[in-house]
Structure formats: structure tokens, C-alpha cells
Chain A
Amino acid sequence: MADERVKVTIDGKEHEVQKGSNLLEACNAAGANVPFFCYHPGLSSPAVCRQCLVEVKGAPKPVPSCYTQCTDGMVVETKSEKALDVRRQMLEFTLVNHPIDCPICDKAGECMLQQQYFDWDGKYARNEGIKYRKAKTVDIGKHIVLDQERCILCTRCIRVCDEVAKAPELTMAKRGSSEVLTTAPGKRLDNPYSLNTVDVCPVGALTSKDFRFQMRAWELESTPSVCTGCATGCNVEIHASRGQIYRMIPRDNAAVNKHWMCDEGRFTYKPVHQHRAAVPVVGGAPVAWDTALDEAGRRLKAVLQSEKDRVGVVFNANSTNEDLHVLARLAFDHLGIARAYVAGRDQGSSDDILISADKNCNTAGVRAIGGTKLKSLVDLASDVKSGAIAALIVVGDDGVLGSGGRDGLDALPLNQLETLIVLASHSGALTDSAHVVLPMALWAELNGTFTNKLGMVQRVHKAIDPAGDSLPGWEILCHLSRRLDAAIDFDSARAVFVEAKQKYSFMIGAEWGRVHLPIQLRFAASRG
């Protein structure tokens, strides 16, 4: 029954679709470009906006295609005179009370209303009446501002809260011209998925406080990537302009995150621009790369020759698979270091929607690559205290070892170490104690892969240039390896991936994929 195919004629051409599939999706898959506001592939379809009306032979009036299922022999006209006229009328109604806000509205440039007026209406206004006034800047939640006048009453946000976040915090109130979006009595828009309402809002009614007035949409360039906030690995798009990231929005992936992501994940772009370790540092003073690498090599060589069993390596559950692979090769295969530890962020809250308790984005990767040798930070602390470790190479730190607390920096008497080499992206207590700091690029600045909790190896693409002089971790380790007479050489992250894929079973089936150059949003179709 699910695989039964039916024949539907759309605009004169016959198409074969699955029985019962959504007519709007079938039309748009056939290239008819039927406009819509309230429909969203991830939400239920209430057919409130009536923008997707098409003519179906045999039906007495135009039908909303988002609410209609395909049946065998259906004949659909999406561009007949009646259909176009009705489309225009609906847009006219929608625009009747819409405020003239385009110059100050954040959604301008990615607004569905603008796009559909331009494509399907194109007539000057007929009504000269005064527009109905509503509240302009309503603070309805922790992250969101509502402009009631711009709202076109499509109810997508209400359905997101109800169906995706399972937190019915929004509702429509009143009727007719005075109908407004508002919070349910006693509630605020505070659920952990609230910012998805900003994504699905076709107009600029719901705007993110973080992004409001920061940057115009058409100046942004979009790069596909993966969120590194937890082990779910929601697919995202990084929107950046001139080396600065402004926001992250979810990218569709039916297997991982469908069309959504959590609010906390959206803010993981902020640390990319804060407290970065940007230059190599030796003994507290910034130096050139060669100097730092030579110093690190010298120190490590000395201790490796005399007391190899007192050298430790700390892997990080947030490093890319490429960084981990090169580190494993260097530490285990070439240098024969026995003591290996794994560091990561603390566990946190979770829910059964998207948020994982494991706040590390590559736990699966580090377990597979590091193997069973990896010990925890607690063991590291006791080993350092007991003097079993004299030298430590820490790869990857985004404040995790410096977070304090039981597993954090407080427990580690770093001053006891004779040699502490840190490959870090952020400066903090750990880099302050290090003898050599080698600055690392972060996930948004490099090409690499992470493995989520489902075992899927997902690719991140480079959105902006690395901060300061920082380099990807695997590249730093290659340079370091040369100083340690263990020359590991890769000319690209892709080369590392290719080698790692042959070695680790969890990477079977993983693809590096095509190069993605950042795409300017000004050429992209409207969001929604």
C-alpha cells in the first residue's frame, strides 16, 4: 500500500507519484513552484493560509494542495488563469495589513512574502485604508522578539512548539484583522527549541535577539556543517560574512535532526570568536611557528629518550576524526607512548527530541581511534600527582580541561609537569600553564569529520579562515612529527580521511563529499 504508485497530471504532464503523497510536494517536485506559507514538510498541515490553492479537475473550487492527497488520475492545473488569480488574491489579502517594514525588517532578503509577491502578484496596492496596528516589539521569550503586525497568521510557530518541542507555549488570540500571535496565558516562549520558530516564520514577525539588526541576510555566506554541541550532531548551516559567523540554522537531515536544532547548539558559534589562542606561545611569549615547533620537539625528544613511559597524551572527545587519527598514529605507532587519556565535556541534560546528555561531538570517534587504552581524566590527575607523568601532550582544548571541578583543571597539578605541550584553540588556565602552546583551528574553520552518537560520520566544511595563525590539529601534528623524527605527512585533511577510512571500521561507508564553497545567501531562494 505504501509503495503503490498513482498517475497524476500536473500542468499537462503526467507524473507518477506515491499514492497518498502530498499534492503540494508532488507539484513542486514537478517544478510547478506552487507558493505556500503555512505548510512545512516537518509539521502538520492545517491549510490556513490558502496560498497553495490549485485547480483540480472535478473539484468545485480550488483546493489547498498542501492538504490534498494524490489520487490516481488526478488532473491538476497550477497555472491556469483561475489558479493564478486566486493566488494573487490571497497575496493581496495577506498584504492588506502588512506593515511597510522591509527596510528595518531582519527577514528582508530571505522573506517568503517578498519572494511570493514578486513571483506571483506584481500588482500595485488597491486599498488605501489605514492598516490595523498591533504591538511591534513584544518580548515573548528568552531569545525571541515578536512583531505582531508582520505576522501573517500562518501558525507555523505554534505547530513547532506543539509538535516538535512538545511545549505548547504559543497561540493565536482574537479574530479577523485583530488576530494576533501571543503566548498562552502564563507562559513565555522559553522551550529549548524556541529558535526554530524564527527559522520557520515566513516573515520577520519572530526574530532572534541574538541576530536582530546584526547583519543583512544577503551579505551572509552559507556553509554546510555540523553542530558540535552534543553527540547528536545536528546538521547546520553556518552563516558568516567577512570572517565573522553571525548565526547557525539547521540543515535538513531526515536521519539525524529532520529540520530542527536546539537553541543551545545555535550558540556554539560564539566560542569560535572568543578567547582564541591565535599565535604560538613559548614560555608565555608569542613566537613564530617554527620556533614553537622546534621547542616542543626539543622538549619531547629529550623526555622521550630518557623516560618514555612518563610521557602522556590526552585525546579530546571533541576533536575531528582526522586530528584523532594523526595523533593516534604519532603517539602509538611512531612514538610508542603507552599512557593515553581522554578528556571531554561533562555530561548534561538531555531530552528525547534532539539533545543528548553527552555534550561531546566525537565520543564515538575518540573511542574507536583511541581504543581501549584511553583512561579518564581522574586517572590522569592521579598519575600526574603521583609523578608517574613528567610530560603531557594535550590535543584539543576548548576550555574543557580548564573548566574546574572534579574532572577539570583543579584536579590537575599542572605545575608538577616538566613539559606541557598544548594544542589548543582557546586560551585559558591550561594554556597559561603550558610550556608550548600551538594554536588550533576550530570546527568552523576547517574541513573534517565528526562521528555522532548514531555512528554516522558527518562532514564539516570550512566556513571562515582560521583565527590568527592557527592551523588544523592534524597539520600541527604533522609538523611536530617531523621534529620528532617520525615524519607523518599529509597534504590535506582529505588525505587523512582517506587513510583513516581504511583503518577504522566505524568509518566504512563514510564519504568526504564534494567541496562546498560558501554560497552567498543573496542568490539562494527564500528560506522556509
Chain B
Amino acid sequence: MSAAEDTSLTPRRIVIGIQDKSDLDAPELPSDPMPLNMGPSHPAMHGTVRMVLEVVGEKIASADVQVGYLHRCFEKESEYATWTQIFPYTDRLNYVSPMLNNVGYALAVEKLLDIDKKVPERAQYIRVIVGEIARACDHMTCLGAGGMELGAFTAFLYMVKAREWLWELLEEISGARLTHSFVRVGGVTGDLPDGWAEKLRAKIVDVRRVLAEVDGLLTRNRIFRDRMDGLGIITKEQAASYGITGPVARATGLDYDVRKDYPYLVYDQFDFDVPVGSVGDNFDRYACRVEEIQQSLRIVEQALDKIPAGPIVMADPRIVLPPKTETYNTIEAMISHFKLIMDGIHVPAGEIYSFTEGGNGELGFYVVSDGTGRPWKLHCRAPSFANTAIMPSLLPGHFIADIVPIFGMINMIGGECDR
């Protein structure tokens, strides 16, 4: 009987070889609902969230999940920044997979400019490569942290080690481990350095080895399974009604991946699978992520094989900064540089909702432009926000100890949820 179905007040006990049953007949202790505050500063609350729980004994009667502790006014600041100045802000949305946010935002602006088909192909491949690496890192962080919160510290260290290898490569290409600001409207800022592709291939082999090790530590681990199986079950209908997307939704059996259903960039060129669960419990979410890392690595390898030569950025001085040799030596490029920096790209007035598959699901950008170099409104549809919305109805009936794995597998990233 799973914890969600057990509505009685007796705590669940695991009986392991106890012959003396006298303690099982202990009288029930009276218990009133007790308010319990969890967070916002709590080792297991990734990204600061506060849960105000009402518990009856160990069981949760109600949970008020209060987000907003990491609200940094992303949308308000965007209204005062030029289109290009917003890229560093997008890095800090889902800060464990910043490349995906960069790409999602760049695509939104490019669609408004009607240049999304004109971005050079090499740039699109590079975007896919770094995006999938970021997705793999996001899932590795989630799984590692999930394991650590249940006591499997080794899993965390192994995952973080593998993640660090990938971040070193991203640092080589963009200059930063985490806050890359690598993508621009019209392309990317840097090409793949010499030898980078070979290093990446070698590292993918190493990462797969680490994933196999962690898989061996967790997937059939008795304790891990007991704490994950059958908990936090979400149904397909609930997922659709809440707008839950990403691995959390796919674990419920809802087959929705933006890369497959509404292909963008060059995702239709690759051969990859999308893992879909069946039960919608914690373990399914874990398993989906494990498999997604493998699929992401698969995409990266294919992209490295297929990537064409060519420019990494559009050659339009009205959208992309000109090369410095031009800027310093010709008035045209100087003017273009000047206007792009001071005014911003002149995006024609209009609005668009552009969406990509972020680490946690459908990452949407609803952009309203008034024709100037700054957005009129930039709304980030954060997948974590929609995913976390189910927590207040998911937690009741579970035990306090179940909050940690459930919350860990929902993978609320504070930066994305609160923006």
C-alpha cells in the first residue's frame, strides 16, 4: 500500500525481522494538527521555497508552498534593457542549464524579427550542442542532489564530477562555467575551438561511465526505491490541467516534448528518443531524467558528426555587432555598433509566444515589442513555476520525509520559478 493511499493515522513501519510485536500494539497517541515551517532556508529546499505545512503526526494535512524568495524582477528589468542586454538575465533563470534559456530567448526575438530561418546552420548546430550539454548537466544535478538528499552522498559527488567535466568544456567555449551569455540574436558568440569536439567526444565516454556507476548505486537500491516508488503520483490529466511539462509530465505518460512536437533549430535532423513513464511517481521522474541524459548525449554526438562549416552569426549590421576591424575602420560599422549598443536591435512591433524544451519543460517567452530597441514586455513562462504549482495538492497524504524526494524530483529551480 503506497503512502498516498494510506489515510489512517498510524505511521508506516518497516518490519525487518522483529519478532516481538508488542510495540506494534502501542496505544495511539493523540495528535492535533501542528503547523510546521519548512524553509525558505533549508538544506533540502533547492532555490529557496517555503512550505508551510500542517502535519498530523508525520502525515501532511495541508501544504502551502510559498515561492518568490528568489524573485529578482527579471521581467521589470527586461523592459529597461536592450534586447542583447537581456541575455545575462536569461542565464540566471534556470541557472543549471543556462544555455537553454539563452537559446529560447534568442529564438523568440529572432521570430519577431523574422530571421529565425536565416540564422546560419553552423550556429544552429552549436546551439543544439551546448543546449543538450546543458540539459544533461541539469538532469545530472537534479539526480545527484536528489540522491544526496536521501543520503546517497556518493551519487552526488560522482554526478557533480561528471558535470564539472562538461562545464569545463562550456567554459572553454564561452568563458564561464555557468553564466555563459553565449547566444546572441542572429547566432552565437564563439565558434568551437580547435580540438574541442574531440575533447567533448572523449568526455562523453567518461560521463557515460559515471552515469553507469551512479545507476548502479541508485536505480535498484532498496532504500532508494522504497523512498521513491509510488510517491507523488501525478496523472496525465493533472499534468495537462496544471500545465506541467518536461520530465515531470513525461513521467506521467504524457508524451510531450517540444523538440519532437514542434521542432525548432535543427532537432528534426537528429535521431533520438523521448522517454515516457507510466506511473507518474517519483521513480518514473528519476528514470525519465536518467534516460534523457543518455538521449542528450546521443544528440550531441550526432550533432558533432553533422555540423557544417560556415559562419556562426548572421552578417547583418542591423542585428549583429560588426567585426571589430570594421568597427574601428569604417563609419558604417561604427554607426551600426553604436546604434546596436545604445538603441538596441530595432525589433518591429508585435508579439509572440516562442517556446523551447528547457531543462524542466516548456520554457516559453512571451515577448511584446513596441518597435524600439527594448522590449515592452518580456514574460518568461517558467516550467518550474507550473510544475511547482501541483505541490500543494500533491503533498497532503504523504509523510514529512516524503517531501524531500518529491520536491527533489519535481526539480523546482528557484531562479526559473521566481524569475
Judged by CB atoms under 8 Å, the answer to whether A and B touch is yes
Residues of chain B having any CB pair with chain A under 8 Å: 316-318, 322, 326, 328-336, 338-339, 342-343, 346, 372, 374
Is A113 a contact of B342 with CB atoms below 8 Å? Answer: no
In addition to A122-B318, A522-B343, 4 A-B residue pairs with Cβ atoms within 8 Å of each other are: A118-B318, A122-B316, A124-B322, A125-B326
A95 at the interface (CB under 8 A from B): yes
Is A124 a contact of B346 with CB atoms below 8 Å? Answer: no
A160-B338 Cα distance, complex, nearest whole Å: 29
A122-B333 Cα distance, complex, nearest whole Å: 9
* Distance between B321 CB and nearest chain A CB, rounded to angstroms: 12
Interface range for A: 20 to 34
Report chain B residues within 8 Å CB of A309.
none
* Distance between B103 CB and nearest chain A CB, rounded to angstroms: 25
A469 at the interface (CB under 8 A from B): no
Near B by CB (< 8 A), chain A positions 497-528 give 522-523
Closest A residue to B82 by beta carbon equals: A522
Of the candidates A98, A100, A113, A121, the one having the most CB atoms from chain B within 10 angstroms of its own CB is A100
Near B by CB (< 8 A), chain A positions 153-169 give none
User: How would residues 87 to 123 of chain A score, 1 for a CB under 8 Å from any chain B CB and 0 otherwise?
Assistant: 0000000010011101100001100011101110111
Report chain A residues within 8 Å CB of B333.
124-125
Report chain B residues within 8 Å CB of A523.
372, 374
Is A117 a contact of B335 with CB atoms below 8 Å? Answer: yes
Closest A residue to B337 by beta carbon equals: A102
Closest A residue to B315 by beta carbon equals: A124
A211 at the interface (CB under 8 A from B): no
A–B complex contacts, Cβ < 8 Å, 11 sampled = A100-B331, A102-B338, A103-B338, A114-B335, A114-B339, A117-B335, A122-B318, A122-B336, A123-B332, A124-B322, A125-B332
A122-B334 Cα distance, complex, nearest whole Å: 11
Report chain A residues within 8 Å CB of B346.
118-119
Report chain B residues within 8 Å CB of A98.
331
Is B336 a contact of A102 with CB atoms below 8 Å? Answer: no
Closest A residue to B340 by beta carbon equals: A118
A118-B317 Cα distance, complex, nearest whole Å: 8
> Interface of chain A, helix or strand or loop or mixed?
helix
For B332, give its contact among A95, A108, A119, A218 (CB under 8 Å): A95
Is A118 a contact of B342 with CB atoms below 8 Å? Answer: no
User: How would residues 252 to 296 of chain A score, 1 for a CB under 8 Å from any chain B CB and 0 otherwise?
Assistant: 000000000000000000000000000000000000000000000
Of the candidates B316, B330, B332, the one having the most CB atoms from chain A within 10 angstroms of its own CB is B332
Near B by CB (< 8 A), chain A positions 67-105 give 95, 98-100, 102-103
Of the candidates A121, A123, A124, the one having the most CB atoms from chain B within 10 angstroms of its own CB is A124
* Distance between B21 CB and nearest chain A CB, rounded to angstroms: 78
Report chain B residues within 8 Å CB of A103.
334, 338
A76-B239 Cα distance, complex, nearest whole Å: 56
For A124, give its contact among B328, B332, B343, B374 (CB under 8 Å): B332
Report chain A residues within 8 Å CB of B335.
95, 102, 113-114, 117-118
Residues of chain A having any CB pair with chain B under 8 Å: 95, 98-100, 102-103, 108-109, 113-115, 117-119, 121-125, 218, 522-523
Known: A122-B318, A523-B372. A100 touches B338 (CB 8 A): no
A218-B342 Cα distance, complex, nearest whole Å: 8
Closest B residue to A119 by beta carbon equals: B346
Known: A122-B316, A123-B317, A124-B322. A100 touches B342 (CB 8 A): no
* Distance between A151 CB and nearest chain B CB, rounded to angstroms: 14
* Distance between A104 CB and nearest chain B CB, rounded to angstroms: 11
Is A124 a contact of B317 with CB atoms below 8 Å? Answer: yes
For A95, give its contact among B328, B331, B372 (CB under 8 Å): B331
For A100, give its contact among B316, B317, B334, B343 (CB under 8 Å): B334
Closest A residue to B344 by beta carbon equals: A522
A114-B339 Cα distance, complex, nearest whole Å: 7
Known: A109-B342, A522-B343. A117 touches B336 (CB 8 A): yes
For A522, give its contact among B316, B331, B342 (CB under 8 Å): B342
Is A100 a contact of B318 with CB atoms below 8 Å? Answer: no
Report chain A residues within 8 Å CB of B338.
102-103, 108, 114
Closest B residue to A96 by beta carbon equals: B331
Report chain B residues within 8 Å CB of A125.
326, 330-333
Report chain B residues within 8 Å CB of A114.
335, 338-339
Is A100 a contact of B328 with CB atoms below 8 Å? Answer: yes
Report chain A residues within 8 Å CB of B342.
108-109, 218, 522
* Distance between B330 CB and nearest chain A CB, rounded to angstroms: 4
* Distance between B328 CB and nearest chain A CB, rounded to angstroms: 7
Is B336 a contact of A100 with CB atoms below 8 Å? Answer: no
A125-B322 Cα distance, complex, nearest whole Å: 11
* Distance between A504 CB and nearest chain B CB, rounded to angstroms: 42
Is A102 a contact of B317 with CB atoms below 8 Å? Answer: no
Is B318 a contact of A99 with CB atoms below 8 Å? Answer: no
A303-B329 Cα distance, complex, nearest whole Å: 76
